Structure 1
Amino acid sequence: MSGWFRLLSGKPRPPSRGIARDAVTITLADGQAVEVQRVRDPRARRLKLSVDERGARLTLPLRASDAAGERFVIEHGDWLATQLRNAGSVIGALQPHVTAAVPLRGAMQPLQWHDGRYLRLALDDATLAITAPATVTDAALRRTLRDFYEAQARADIGRWLPQYLPGLPRAPSRLRFRMMSSQWGSLAPDGALSLDLSLMLAPPPAFEYVLVHELCHLIHADHSRRFWREVEARCPHWRDQRDWFRSDGRRLKATLHALCGKLKS
């Protein structure tokens, strides 16, 4: 039935099938068993295999069979294994009185655990002190560490931002930190600036480059040559930082995901 006939006749549009997700374990040609999130998407036109900090993801059109999807994964097994190794976290979730250090500003920050009634995390000189009760939960630890990272990130932004404001048409309307899957930052039309919280794990020059990049979008909303000239004027070594993200960025996101879990932004 055509859309026009349906509109004129008053017949309702048949419900469209939504996105369906499940997890499957697929054994690659080398014998390695890999858990894959399988996603059936009515908008998909072809099979697609991707990897992010959450693991492997296979997107299938509605008409593709499960067997075809499994063959596709196995055919790309070498690529998938390499991507999973590159995306793997170098650290696991916090374990009370066990985890010895966490990443911060491009280095591993030593942890010092203390027993106490209330959960508290504070940076004292070169040591990160954590006071935790015996019954502390994983969720509470993840939330506290995330709050700590955000407080430190806002402090860094507070030091960097004043030097860039005089050359901008306006300041960002607000600042928000989130756990992003692919992006490192974004600037909304209303001037709201969002940054990936995992930037707090990166070396400060890399973090500052992302800030400069997004601030320059207040001048040019695109990625034209004029935009990159603005970035170059404020961050002459931006290419080095971009290359760093291309080689180490995925691992950075995976590490934050392992430390802070699937928390809502």
Structure 2
Amino acid sequence: MPVLPGSPPVEITLRRSAQARRFSLRVSRLDGRVTLTLPLRAREAEALAFVRDQEGWIRRALSDVPEAAAVGLGSVLPLEGRPLTVRTGSGRSVRVTDDSLLVPGDPASVPLRLATFLKAMARERLAVACDRHARNLGRPYARLTLRDTRSRWGSCTQDGCLMFSWRLILAPPPILDYVAAHEVAHLAQMNHSPAFWAEVARLDPDYALHRAWLRRQGQALHGFRFGD
């Protein structure tokens, strides 16, 4: 893998594409990976010269990547937008108090137990939101699934299957509700036309504010690592 020298050195992932007509750089805000897309016939030496010319831009982009935070006892984790401290709990289940997430059991199992708890809560909240929006739209959906997607917060297939990132449970409730409304609206409009956005506005009149929040702060939700 080519490396851009400097402090620190930066690994560059090269990806050749039949569709590419020029060099294109991308820095992932999730993990800081730097990818250079280049045409099939481009010479690697030319590609690396392009990378060196863009070093300033690359390093500025890397400085904006949020640091990953491993979740464990003492971590502060947003739950529905509320910052809660992860502490040792009693009993068998994870509990939520005014300022804490209480996780019983072996400290080593805290990340996995928290992830399981958060996924269950996300499924419950999203099911309620999707059911409500689907009733208002007058169109049922087929099923709801959760994933830890990095490139999108949700999706809707032609046959009415909805998929969401379970990390939406970390965001304030109106944000989760907006993403549910967005994907449910696709049941009526499988596009992003003005007619689609009109459906979204009918389901969530403040969708523009919620969409802007995701663009500004959504990537930070991917910075929490649960040992996976």
Q: Please state which band the TM-score falls in when normalised by the shorter chain.
A: 0.7 to 0.9
Partner residue of 1:260?
Answer: 226
Give the match for residue 39 of structure 1. 15
Question: Does structure 1 retain, via aligned residues, the 8 Å contact 2:14–2:36?
Answer: yes
Aligned residue runs from structure 1 range 97-112, under 5 A: 97=73, 99-112=74-87
Q: Equivalent of 1:198, from 161, 167, 170?
A: 167
Query: Could you state the TM-score of these two structures normalised by the residue count of structure 2?
Result: 0.83
Distance 1:86 1:201, change over 3 A: farther
4+ runs deviating over 6 angstroms: none
**Distance in 2, Cα, partners of 1:94 & 1:166:** 37
Structure 1: 5+ residue stretches without partners: 1-22
Determine the structure 2 residue equivalent to 1:129. Answer: 102
Aligned match of 2:208: 239
The Cα shift of 1:121 comes to 5.8
Q: For residues 142 and 37 of structure 1, what CA distance do their matches in structure 2 show? A: 30
Asked whether the 8 Å contact 1:86–1:250 carries over to 2, the reply is no
CA RMSD of aligned residues (A): 2.7
Partner of 1:94: 71
The amino acid across from 2:85 in the alignment is: P
1:105 to 1:71, Cα distance in 2 relative to 1, 3 A: farther
Give the fraction of aligned pairs with identical amino acids, expressed as a percent: 31
In 2, the alpha carbon distance for the partners of 1:142 and 1:62 equals: 43
Pair 132,59 (structure 1): closer, same or farther in 2 beyond 3 Å = farther
**Cα distance 1:42–1:166, how it changes in 2: closer, same or farther (>3 A)?**
closer
Q: Deviation of residue 222 (structure 1)? A: 1.6
TM-score (structure 1 length as normaliser): 0.73
Of 25, 29, 48, the residue aligned with 1:49 is: 25
Q: Which stretches in structure 2 are left out of the alignment for 5+ residues?
A: none
Q: Aligned partners of 1:243, 1:166: CA distance in 2, in Å?
A: 26
Aligned equivalent of 1:8: none
